[in-house]
Amino acid sequence: MSSMRLGVHCSVGKGLENTVKEAVALNCETIQIFSRSPRSWGRKEFDLQEVEEFKTALKHHRIFPLFVHMLYLPNLASSDKKLYKKSVDVLIDELKRCRILNAECLIIHPGRYTSGSFETGIKNIITAINFSFSKVSAEGGSASGGKNETILLLENLAGGKTDIGWKFEEIRQIIKAVKDKKRIGVCLDTAHLFAAGYDVSKKGFDNTVKEFDEIVGLKYLKLIHLNDSLGDIGSRIDRHTHIGEGKIGIKGFEALIQHPKIKNIPGIIETPRGDLSLDRKNLKKLREIMR
């Protein structure tokens, strides 16, 4: 039987107390949040009492791990010096905020090289990660005791335009150059995976898992974003849709969730949001597959 811990991306817009209420209402076993607005460079300082109550509530309801997704504005591959500096500053700040939250992982999109080159872009990503780790050392208490070493997760991209990190080889290149291997990992997004041309089907997913393991290593896989894809395989179109309503289909998710090397990795849904009934419907489909 699969033991994948399932959850959704929960809103923090109405306060961390409501974030937990939302997670409990959906029977989440794990959650993902933004630590700030995803579309603004500015942010507020945490209310530390609210944070402590949030951590206590997560522990009480056995909701773990806590994943934080970095906002959308930074681009660590940018050749624009001003944007690059702002992006690195945000990464450093987000790692610090993850420490305060006791978040196990911080998810980032590696970046796009846009007006620069691939070589410069990937070098910029590597430099940003190593520099950020040097500025935010792995220290401080965690919920499980010991050091709070927030793991930075590289999310695979769909392969649009000048994306870096849509091929397993590109993810490997970044990880290989990161000095502190204990603090780096991968989040595989199923819609991105499919759009990039990797097979997520009953017949082909095992080959995709083997390819990832051979090129990157399954030891680095810490999270799966569970999203169906509106685009065809290899389309490089990043369009998420509800579980079973896209080109991956229920059979694809059966192959993924029931795979012996994947089934214990936590899964977060990032399907289009409306009211909680949509999230509840997607979670129900996945839990039926698990049973």
User: Exposed, middle or buried: residue 81 (CB in 10 Å: 0-12, 13-18, 19+)?
Assistant: exposed
Say whether 61 is catalytic: no
Q: Is 259 a catalytic residue?
A: no
| Catalytic annotation present for 45 | no
Dist. CA 172–CA 106, nearest whole Å: 18
Question: Which residue is catalytic, options 225, 228, 254, 279?
Answer: 225
Backbone φ, ψ for residue 196 (5° rounding): -80, -10
Is residue 47 among the annotated active site residues?
A: no
Q: Point out the catalytic residue in the list 52, 60, 72, 214.
A: 72
Active-site choice (22, 29, 36, 69): 69
Q: Is the CB of residue 151 less than 8 Å from the CB of residue 181?
A: no
Q: Is 149 a catalytic residue?
A: no
72 is a catalytic site residue: yes
Q: Is 238 a catalytic residue?
A: yes
> E strands along the chain, which residues?
6-9, 30-33, 66-69, 105-108, 111-112, 151-155, 163-164, 184-189, 221-226, 228-229, 240-241, 267-269
- Give CA–CA dist 108/182, Å, rounded: 16
Q: Is 149 left (phi over 0), alpha (psi -120 to 50) or beta?
A: beta
Catalytic residue check, 232: no
Active site residue 109: yes
Residues found in the chain: 291
Judged on CB neighbours under 10 Å (0-12, 13-18, 19+), 37 is middle
> Active-site residue among 99, 240, 254, 279?
240
Question: Which is the catalytic residue, given 192, 198, 220, 279?
Answer: 192
> Which member of 22, 29, 170, 189 is catalytic?
189
Is 225 one of the annotated active-site residues of the chain? Answer: yes
Which residue of the set 155, 163, 199, 254 is catalytic? 155
Annotated active-site residue in 89, 93, 213, 270? 270
The catalytically annotated residue of 36, 97, 109, 183 is: 109
Rounded Cα distance between 175 and 69, Å, is 19
Of 39, 45, 119, 139, catalytic: 39
- In this structure, are residues 245 and 281 in contact, taking their beta carbons and an 8 Å threshold? no
What is the Cα Rg of the chain in Å? 18
Tokens 């009492």 found at: 49
Q: Is 94 a catalytic residue?
A: no
Annotated catalytic residue: which of 170, 238, 254, 279?
A: 238
Q: List, by residue number, the catalytic residues.
A: 39, 69, 72, 109, 155, 189, 192, 225, 238, 240, 270
